[in-house]
């Protein structure tokens, strides 16, 4: 890709918004460089997307903490990279993870969704994360075993057609981890810690599933 054209798509730290709409999603993880397809059908969130498209085209994806309208403090900014409006009045869009953030203050908008003042200054390294040196074959095998014992399938194209950085983010986002595990992955300080967290969660989850299966037998 031409380097000048590439620069047009890169996000600079001074262009990151300090106030963004929040999209709470249960058990959904967005990581920097990860890709997240979304189907928007609720009116307030359709308005949220339309408001975002008029401005910086960014949304804060964050997990609900419980059923009392509480949220985890850390989420990830997602940039809308493409979208379509459907005949039945939905919006189908794709988000790309940009940078993590923490909520400093949130408030309800007149359109029914929350916005938040955020701080992302501690996570600007997310914008220029270096390609990690990982044992790609070992990681893929771990995930394949994890999905297999849960009787789930995984898109093989993801395993071989992505960079190491995208592979690490995409597999962690796809895996059916619980929200606590997903939040632990998100809050890992850097890419190396994230790799260790993912490996630990994979090992523990695989052990638990196998152990429970053996008890049933």
List the Cα angle 96/101/106 in 5-degree steps: 110
The architecture that CATH gives domain 3-124 is: Roll (2.30)
- Contact by Cβ (8 Å): 21, 52: yes
**CA atoms of 74 and 114, how far apart (whole Å):** 15
Per-residue pLDDT of 78-118, as tens digits, reads 999 999 999 999 999 999 999 999 999 999 999 999 999 99
Q: Provide the 3-class DSSP secondary structure of residue 76.
A: strand
CA-nearest of 124, 112, 131 to 47 is 112
How many CA atoms lie within 13 Å of 91's alpha carbon, on the beta-carbon side? Answer: 20
**CA atoms of 107 and 52, how far apart (whole Å):** 16
How high is the pLDDT of residue 147? 87
Q: Does the pLDDT at position 217 exceed 70? A: no
Q: Provide the 3-class DSSP secondary structure of residue 202.
A: helix
Average pLDDT over residues 125-146: 87
How high is the pLDDT of residue 41? 96
Residue with tokens 């990279």: 81
Share of the chain above pLDDT 70, in %: 90
**CA atoms of 126 and 167, how far apart (whole Å):** 15
How many CA atoms lie within 13 Å of 210's alpha carbon, on the beta-carbon side? Answer: 10
pLDDT-wise least confident of 33-47, 51-65, 190-204:
190-204
How high is the pLDDT of residue 4? 57
- Contact by Cβ (8 Å): 144, 154: yes
β-bridge partners, 23: 61
**CA atoms of 145 and 166, how far apart (whole Å):** 20
The separation between CA 13 and the C-alpha centre of its own chain, rounded to angstroms, equals 19
CA-nearest of 48, 38, 34 to 99 is 34
How high is the pLDDT of residue 2? 60
Give me the phi and psi of 157, to 5 degrees please.
-60, -35
**CA atoms of 205 and 147, how far apart (whole Å):** 11
């Amino acid at each position: 890709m031409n380097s000048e054209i590439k620069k047009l798509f890169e996000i600079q730290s001074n262009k990151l918004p300090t106030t963004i709409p929040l999209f709470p999603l249960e058990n959904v993880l967005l990581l920097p460089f990860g890709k997240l397809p979304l189907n928007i059908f609720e009116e307030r969130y359709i308005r949220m997307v339309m408001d975002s498209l008029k401005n910086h085209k960014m949304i804060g994806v964050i997990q609900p903490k419980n059923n009392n309208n509480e949220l985890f403090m850390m989420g990830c900014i997602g940039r809308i990279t493409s979208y379509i409006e459907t005949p039945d009045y939905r919006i189908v869009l794709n988000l790309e993870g940009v940078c993590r953030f923490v909520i400093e203050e949130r408030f309800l908008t007149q359109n029914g969704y929350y916005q938040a003042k955020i701080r992302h200054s501690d996570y600007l390294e997310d914008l220029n994360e270096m390609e990690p040196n990982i044992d790609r074959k070992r990681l893929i095998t771990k995930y394949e075993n994890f999905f297999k014992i849960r009787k789930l399938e995984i898109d093989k194209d993801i395993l071989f057609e992505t960079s190491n950085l995208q592979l690490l983010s995409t597999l962690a986002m796809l895996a059916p981890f619980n929200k606590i595990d997903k939040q632990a992955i998100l809050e890992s300080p850097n890419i190396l810690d994230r790799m260790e967290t993912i490996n630990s969660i994979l090992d523990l989850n695989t052990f638990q599933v196998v152990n429970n299966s053996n008890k049933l037998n």
